[in-house]
Amino acid sequence: MLTSHDADAFPGLLTRDGARWHYLDSAATAQKPNAVIDAVTRALGPDYATVHRGLYARSADMTMAYEAARRQVAALIGGAEHELVFTRGATEAINLVAQSWAVANLKPGDRILLSMLEHHSNIVPWQLIRATTGAVIDVCPLTQDGQIDLDAAQAMLTPAHKLVAFSHVSNVLGGVLDVARAVALAHGVGAKILIDGCQAVARVPVDVAAMGCDFYVFSAHKLYGPTGIGALWARGDLLDAMPPWQGGGSMIDRVTFAETTWAPAPQRFEAGTPAIAEAIGFGVAADWVRGKGLAAIHAHESALVAQAREALGRLNAVRLYGPAASAGIVSFTIDGVHPHDLGTILDEENVAIRAGHHCAQPLMAHLNVPATARASFALYSDQTDIAALVRGIERTLRIFA
C-alpha cells in the first residue's frame, strides 16, 4: 500500500530525469496529488469490489465509499448528493442534459443561447439537439476584453429562449462569468441555465445553491482527480422529472419484456457498472481541494496571472488576449511565430503549454487567429514556471529573429 509519502506532493511535476517540469497546461488537465493517486490505487487494489450489487462485506464497503464520494463532490459545489449524477466528464454531462432534458422539453422554434467563447463540448451537443428538435441556436457576443457580454445577452433573450448555456470560466481567455446575473437574465424570460463549470470548479469558489443555476457540469481530471469521471449537478425537481437517456443495469426499478420502470435520480442516469475507483478518487480530490480552499487557490492563481501578463506584456512581439482579471489562464500569440512552434521549443526547455484552437474554433475565428498559445496555472504553479516560460519565449524570439 502506498501511504508513506506526502499527500500533497505531485509526482507528475518531475521530468523523467527528475528535474522540475514547468507544467503550464493545467487547464487541459491537472496533475494529481499523492492523496488522489493513493486513493485510486487502494480502490483498485485491496479495497476493490463492485458497487450496488454484492451481498458481501467488501462490496457493501465499496458502495459506501462510492456514495461517500458523491457527497464529497456535491459538498464542493454546495449541492445535495441526490442532485449529483456521476458522468464520464463534463462533455457527457452536457450531452446528458441535451439528450434527456432538452429532447423532452424543446420544440421547433424554441431558442438556445450560447456564447462565442464556448468549448466545443458546449456547442456540438446543442447542434445535435437543434437537428432533432428544431430548436434554434443564438450566439451571445463578447465584450472587448473577451468576456460574455451580458448586456448583449439581456437584449437578445426572449420568451422563446428555453435554455442558456454559458461557461463559468473560459478555457481560452480565463474570464469569469457573473453567474448570478446570467441566472437572473435567463430566469427573467423563463429559460433554464446550464453553467459549464469545467474550468471554474478548480479555480473559483462555486456554490450552486447561491448562484441559483439549473445545471452545473464539470470533470474530475481538471480538479486534480482522475480522468473518466465527472458530474452533472441539476436542481432536484428538474432531475426528478428528466427521463433516462441510457438504459441498462443499475438505472431500473423493475424490468419485464412488457415494461420497465426507472430508479429514482441520480441512479436513473447511471446505467451500467460505474467508474468505481475513479469516483472514489474524484471524492478525495474534491475534499482535498476544499481543504486547500478555493478562495486561496483563486488568489494564488490570480497573482500568477498578473505576473505572467506583466512579464509577457513587456515582450514587444507578444499579444495578450482576454481580461486582465482572468482565473488562472493566459492566452497569447507571438508575431511571426506559430503557437505550435513555440510549444515545441518550450518543450525543449521543460515548459509545457497548450497551443492550438483549444476546442473553441468559433472563438479562434472571432479573434481572427488560427490558434493561440495558452499558459494555465494550478495550485502547484509558481514564479519559477513563469520565469521559465519567459526564458523560453525569449529563446524562441532569438531563433526566429
Ligand X SMILES: Cc1ncc(COP(=O)(O)O)c(C=O)c1O
Cell matching residue 49: 469490489
Q: How far is the CB of 357 from ligand X (least distance, A)?
A: 12
Q: Which residues bind ligand X (CB under 6 A)?
A: 89-91, 119, 121-122, 167, 171, 196, 198-199, 219, 359
Tell the smallest beta-carbon distance from residue 123 to ligand X (Å). Answer: 10
The CB-of-85 to ligand X minimum distance in angstroms stands at: 14
Of 189 and 325, the one with the shorter C-beta distance to ligand X is: 325
Task: Report how far residue 138's alpha carbon sits from residue 116's, in angstroms, rounded to the nearest whole number.
Answer: 10
Q: Which of 84, 88, 60 is nearest to 268 (CA)?
A: 84
Decide whether 102 or 198 has the Cβ nearer to ligand X.
Answer: 198
Closest CB to ligand X among 175 and 392? 175
**Interacting residues of 214 by C-beta distance below 8 A, sequence separation 6+:** 192, 193, 194, 234, 235, 238
Q: Cell for 363?
A: 472563438
For residue 52, the minimal CB distance to ligand X (Å) is 24
Catalytic residues: 359
Q: Cell for 382?
A: 509558481
DSSP string covering 23-68, please?
E-BTTT-----HHHHHHHHHHHTTT---SSS--SHHHHHHHHHHHH
Smallest distance from ligand X to CB 216, Å: 12
Output 95 or 396, the one with its CB closest to ligand X: 95
Smaller CB separation from ligand X, 218 or 332: 218
Q: CA triplet 258, 262, 267: central angle to 5 degrees? A: 150
Spatial CB neighbours of 37, under 8 Å, sequence gap ≥ 6: 2, 11
